[in-house]
Amino acid sequence: MTINVFNISLCTITIGAFGVIIYWLIHPEVVEKWAVLIYRVGYFISKHGSKKIVKHDIQGRINEFSKLLGKEIANWEPVGINVEWVKTDETATDFFRNNKLVIRMRHHSDQDKNFVMAAMVFISKSVLTKAKKYLSNNQKESLDLFIGKRLCLREKPRIAEKFFDEVFGPKTDSSNKIVELLDKYEIIDRVGIFYLVLVQELNFLGQKVFSQPRNPKIIEEVTHFINFLEGYANREIGDEAVKTEFTRKYCRCGIVIIAKSFKTKRGDTAPFIQYIKSLVDGEFENIYLIGSAKRENRAFIEKISFEVQQKFGYLEHFSKRYVARILISGKRTPVHNFLILIRSPHTIQFYDKELEEKLFGE
Amino acid sequence: MEYLLPKEEVSVVHDNDLENFLNSLGMLRKFQRGEVKCKFCKTRVTVENLHSVFPQSGAIKIVCDNPDCIRELSKLLREGTISL
């Protein structure tokens, strides 16, 4: 009997420990957050370990955010950060050979500043890397700032304050164009499609365009695309006058709002399929089906997605439930929405003439 | 899964090691004499306002923590002129 109880306890502890190890392997950022707490206690006692606090605190927070971004942007491969201390005996020759930027990190008592600086460098370099090549400086900077703002607002208020004091404030004070773009992103984000549609489409753009950097045609198209999404985000519920299709050379996407209760109640997909057929015929690459996440409506959206895949050969790329603050009688009201992105299997790649000649000699 | 994610390596130097690092690059004396200028705004860089260091065209470039200079630095990073 005693042996049995002992065996059961041992088994439970082993399974529990195994579970914890698996969880930590899948979520190393959680381990890093715990490690920071332990190092802080260690530092309090021994006054050693400031570097470990700085390193793991930044890695834990940024990697967690990157993972969240990966869930919001289906076509983005999340990238983590690895904070690496330079060797203190690194000679000038090593420094030139490594050819890398070295960022100064302050003592961990000023960790909020360290975090903000590392986060902004990380976002500049790692998010939307390909698409940024083709955007204007204002477009690139405003995107980095908005994503940085979202990252810092998730953290302690002190970090957000540091970000606004040292990065956001000075940049917005000096450029009206950046402020204008940030205001547009804010509106787009209210209806929950900043990452789900805007960033996603920019990522697709970066994957299919091979052109010289800062191509004016792409810059102009992205400006129109941002305005299009702003118009959609400012749409009053039921307003059918607002454009829901965007057709330009590089970006071709349509938003199909599935919320006509009488049609969903009847379960009649035909009017939607007919409309989607016109988008397919118009060579729209990405079609976003958006509607209420209520069970009946969600099932209806899924049914439409299935039919589109069967009839037109489009593929379901991504689906997500999210909160949107939509305009109902002039007031922003939070609702639970559901989105499915269906994507054409035949996406077009663009090479500009100069590059084409260089690559293919034509 | 996250543990399989590719990682972007960011090289950093801690305040505790800053003197040694600058010394090994042969920059410490210049720093102490106040002879180091920011690559972008040309103001004097001290230990107080140092943001980062990078190599370019055979020279060591220093950046101060002025938001406009960090903005310029981010541009170079995005363009791939300098790497992490």
What DSSP string describes B10-66? EEEEEHHHHHHHHHHTT-HHHHHTT--B-TTT--B--TTTEEEEEEETTEEEEEES-
Tens-digit pLDDT profile for residues A277-316 = 999 998 889 999 999 999 989 999 999 999 999 999 999 9
The residue with tokens 């016109």 is A278
Q: Is the pLDDT of residue B69 over 70?
A: yes
| Dihedral in degrees, nearest 10, Cα atoms B4, B10, B14, B20 | 120
**Do B13 and A85 lie within an 8 Å CB cutoff?**
yes
Tens-digit pLDDT profile for residues A29-76 = 888 888 889 999 999 898 888 899 999 999 999 998 998 888 888 888
The alpha-carbon gap from A97 to the nearest alpha carbon of chain B, in Å, equals 9
Tens-digit pLDDT profile for residues A244-259 = 888 787 888 889 988 7
A240, A234, A243, A261: which is closest to A327 by C-alpha?
A234
User: Model ipTM?
Assistant: 0.94
**Count of C-beta atoms within a 10 Å radius of residue A340:** 23
A238, A144, A159, A225: which is closest to A188 by C-alpha?
A225
Tens-digit pLDDT profile for residues A77-89 = 889 999 999 987 7
% of chain A beyond a pLDDT of 90:
49
- Return d(Cα A58, Cα B7) in angstroms, integer: 13
Quick one: average pLDDT of B20-34? 90
pLDDT, residue A356, reads 57
**Count of C-beta atoms within a 10 Å radius of residue A241:** 6
Quick one: average pLDDT of A195-210? 88
Contacts of B82 in chain A (CB under 8 A): 99-101
Asked if B82 and A101 count as a contact pair (C-beta separation under 8 A), the reply is yes
Q: Is the pLDDT of residue A227 over 90?
A: yes
**Do B77 and A27 lie within an 8 Å CB cutoff?**
no
Choose among A88, A140, A144: nearest Cβ to B21.
A88
Choose among B7, B18, B65: nearest Cβ to A79.
B7
**Do A104 and B53 lie within an 8 Å CB cutoff?**
yes
Q: Is the pLDDT of residue B78 over 70?
A: yes
DSSP E strand boundaries for chain A? 80-85, 102-105, 209-210, 245-247, 252-258, 286-292, 315-328, 331-343, 350-351
The alpha-carbon gap from A128 to the nearest alpha carbon of chain B, in Å, equals 10
